[in-house]
């Protein structure tokens, strides 16, 4: 039996998975906010990445993206970090064509599934990235260029000793603030109450951010945020969900 050909999607998966090592193969310890789960990349997902990356994929680069060139317009650009399988992101892009969306996800099955769904829906205002979000923010996003950031159900890292791995940290929010233009938003949601309280504290203590909550804490779940399969399951189990929505003044 001949060996299966290594395709672009397989190579992309390998590239993300070896991110913890130096070029000469030595282990490089780095605190990351995600854990790579090596779920199976299906043929359907692999084909979607291989066939449509030119239309939907963006690569890490050492200079800011030109959003007008990428999308063919100057609509506000919304960045979503950790879109999972991408269904809610695609639906949001479909429902709000006045925005351009960029989604970052390190798990290739999700990237492939998102691209496949975007192709099915003929979405034009969405691009995806398979890379570490902190490096994308640092290298590829120009200052004052984003209309908003979405972070829905990030890994809560429940144990206290793992809290340093949470993506929401003062330094992360400061980096996001630098990339957003005035009037841009930060929208976060979590079903982990301890994390929601920590998110609220970090956002409240960030100079230049204004809470849109009338009670100065959380907002009711907004209609424009699609209900995810994950969230639907949580609702059936009686889990709470906390949304935060802050504006850069």
Binding residues for S-adenosyl-L-methionine: 80, 105, 132, 155
Catalytic residue among 51, 139, 155, 243: 155
**Active-site residue 155, yes or no?**
yes
| Cα-based distances in Å from 170 to 167, 175, 204 | 9, 9, 10
Q: CA angle, 23 as apex, 19 and 26 as ends, to 5°? A: 80
Residues 6+ apart with CB under 8 A from 28: 20, 21, 22
Joined together, the tokens standing for residue 80 give: 């979503």
Binding-site residues, in ranges, read 80, 105, 132, 155, 159, 191, 228-231
Count of alpha carbons within 13 angstroms of residue 186, beta-carbon side: 25
- Cβ proximity of 131 and 106 under 8 Å: yes
Kind plus residue range of the DSSP H or E element containing 202: helix 193-204
Residues 6+ apart with CB under 8 A from 70: 58, 100, 127
- Cβ proximity of 177 and 206 under 8 Å: yes
Starting from the edge strand earliest in sequence, which strands make up the sheet with 242-248, in order?
57-58, 126-129, 100-104, 77-81, 146-152, 180-190, 242-248, 209-211
Name the residues annotated as catalytic.
155
């Amino acid at each position: 039996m001949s060996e299966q050909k290594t395709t672009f999607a397989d190579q992309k998966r390998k590239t993300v998975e070896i991110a913890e090592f130096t070029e000469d193969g030595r282990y490089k310890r780095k605190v990351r906010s995600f854990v790579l789960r090596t779920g199976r990349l299906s043929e359907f997902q692999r084909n979607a990445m291989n066939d449509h990356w030119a239309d939907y994929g963006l690569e890490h680069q050492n200079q800011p993206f030109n959003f007008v060139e990428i999308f063919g317009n100057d609509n506000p650009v919304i960045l979503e970090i950790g879109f999972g399988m991408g269904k809610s992101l695609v639906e949001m892009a479909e429902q709000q064509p006045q925005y351009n969306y960029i989604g970052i996800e390190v798990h290739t099955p999700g990237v492939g599934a998102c691209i496949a769904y975007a192709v099915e829906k003929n979405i034009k205002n969405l691009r995806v990235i398979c890379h570490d979000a902190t490096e994308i923010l640092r290298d590829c996003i120009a200052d004052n260029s984003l209309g908003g950031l979405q972070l829905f159900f990030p890994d809560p890292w429940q144990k206290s000793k793992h809290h340093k791995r949470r993506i929401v940290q003062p330094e992360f929010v400061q980096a996001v603030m630098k990339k957003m233009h005035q009037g841009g938003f930060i929208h976060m949601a979590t079903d982990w109450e301890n994390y929601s309280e920590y998110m609220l504290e970090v956002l409240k203590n960030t100079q230049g951010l204004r809470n849109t909550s009338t009670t100065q804490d959380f907002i009711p779940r907004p209609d424009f945020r699609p209900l995810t399969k994950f969230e639907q399951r949580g609702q059936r189990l009686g889990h709470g969900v906390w949304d935060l929505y802050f504006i850069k003044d």
